[in-house]
Chains A and B, each alone.
Chain A
């Protein structure tokens, strides 16, 4: 069975600085998707960024980028120029490619605080 591990329960960053959240996963599949979701306090969870395993190029969305290391089964999220609105729980998630088993498997989350 696939597993997702986020080893940092809490992280803190100064406003305008850069922070990296770690995620590792375990799977025997070669095709899959990886996601980072953000859950702000008392607000809905939203997708931050997505990576397809067959793509070697790391995904980027504005200030958010990932470092995808397939061989190492590592998928870290880098937030550049951190803003107060980035404070949230961040969940790393894995999904197999297609089929009825294509459900999301989540890590336990990392709580990110942003200091002004």
Chain B
């Protein structure tokens, strides 16, 4: 089975801190994604990566950056955390864009910024 893991289930940070959210997948997937999930808003794409060192902005990239140095790992970085970044963050991965490219999700990280 595909496994997508995220470094923390719950995280509490202070305003202005630099925050790293880590995601690892074990199925050699090319594509990895970071979403933000808020009640009533569904999932919104922050960034995605289709190859090592490649990244593209999603719908809401402001205030975030990403890093993909290895194929299996995709990091989301909050350079200076703010209270409006309190949210659930979901990582996902997929193999290619074709018919079989279901996205597999991690368990999520619930981030609280105080």
Contacts and interface: CB of A to CB of B under 8 A. Distances in A.
Interface of A: 9, 33, 35, 37, 43-47, 50, 52, 91, 97-100, 102-104, 106-109
B60 interface: no
Interface residues of B, number: 23
Given A108-B40, A108-B42, A100 B90 contact: no
A46 B105 contact: yes
Contact of B43 (A44, A47, A50, A91): A91
B102 A104 contact: no
| Shortest 8 CB-CB contacts between residues of A and residues of B | A108-B42, A45-B105, A102-B97, A106-B43, A106-B42, A98-B97, A47-B102, A44-B107
B99 interface: yes
A44 B106 contact: yes
A9 B39 CA distance: 10
A21 B42 CA distance: 15
B56 A100 contact: yes
Is the contact region of chain A dominated by helix, strand, or loop, or is it mixed?
A: loop
B58 A103 contact: yes
B80 to A, nearest CB: 26
A50 B41 contact: no
A50 B48 CA distance: 21
A104 B45 contact: yes
Contacts of A44: 4, 105-108
A43 B108 CA distance: 9
A33 B102 CA distance: 10
Interface in B43-61: 43-45, 48, 50, 56, 58
Nearest to B50: A100
Contacts of B89: none
Contacts of A97: 97
21 contacts: A9-B40, A35-B102, A37-B105, A44-B4, A44-B105, A44-B107, A45-B105, A46-B105, A47-B102, A50-B102, A52-B99, A91-B43, A97-B97, A98-B98, A100-B50, A102-B101, A103-B45, A106-B42, A106-B43, A108-B42, A109-B42
